[in-house]
Amino acid sequence: MLYDEGRTGYGRSGAGDRAREEGRDVEGPGGGYPLMASCRATKANGEPCALAANGPQGFCWAHDPANREKRRRMASKAARSKPNRELPSIKALLEDLTEKVLAGDLATPRAGVANQLANTRLRAIEQERKNKETEELESRIEVLERAQERGGGRWRGA
């Protein structure tokens, strides 16, 4: 008999047996065993990761320790790209001022002062963004310079 449904993995302990021991459901829609081992990591919410493992350590890309630095860089880049939370409120304020002036509910001199204050806030936000970007670039340059001093690359400083 080539295939016996009563035997688990033909006597060998495989990924399905480990997953079953951990209490994970490994039966597919056809009742067979999965062809790929799933990641052996546990997610932050306590559930087991359901992604396919793709390395000898049994982790998916997101949980593989070898990818830790690349994940950190990607998360850092994502954090830097978050939009400023103040901009929507300033845009709403300017829209409200415009409507009130056009409807005659707000005197033009008062609206002009409010507009100048909103523009000052916008310039401060832009300056903050530039300062943050400059700090990040300085820190990246420092890392490159330290690597160069240790002989870690071909990059040549000016």
User: Domain residue spans in the chain?
Assistant: 83-149
Sign of CA dihedral 56, 57, 59, 60: negative
Using the structure block, give the residue that is written with the tokens 């300062």: 131
pLDDT class of 127 with cuts at 50, 70, 90: very high
What is the model's pLDDT at position 106?
A: 93
pLDDT class of 137 with cuts at 50, 70, 90: very high
Q: Would you say 8 and 17 are in contact if contact means Cβ atoms under 8 Å apart?
A: yes
What is the model's pLDDT at position 86?
A: 87
11-53 pLDDT per residue, tens: 444 555 565 666 665 555 555 555 678 898 888 899 999 888 8
Cα–Cα distances (Å) from 104 to 38, 95, 98, 111, 115, in that order, read 66, 14, 10, 11, 16
What is the model's pLDDT at position 155?
A: 54
69-96 pLDDT per residue, tens: 888 888 777 666 666 788 899 999 999 9
What is the model's pLDDT at position 54?
A: 83
Using the structure block, give the residue that is written with the tokens 């490994």: 26
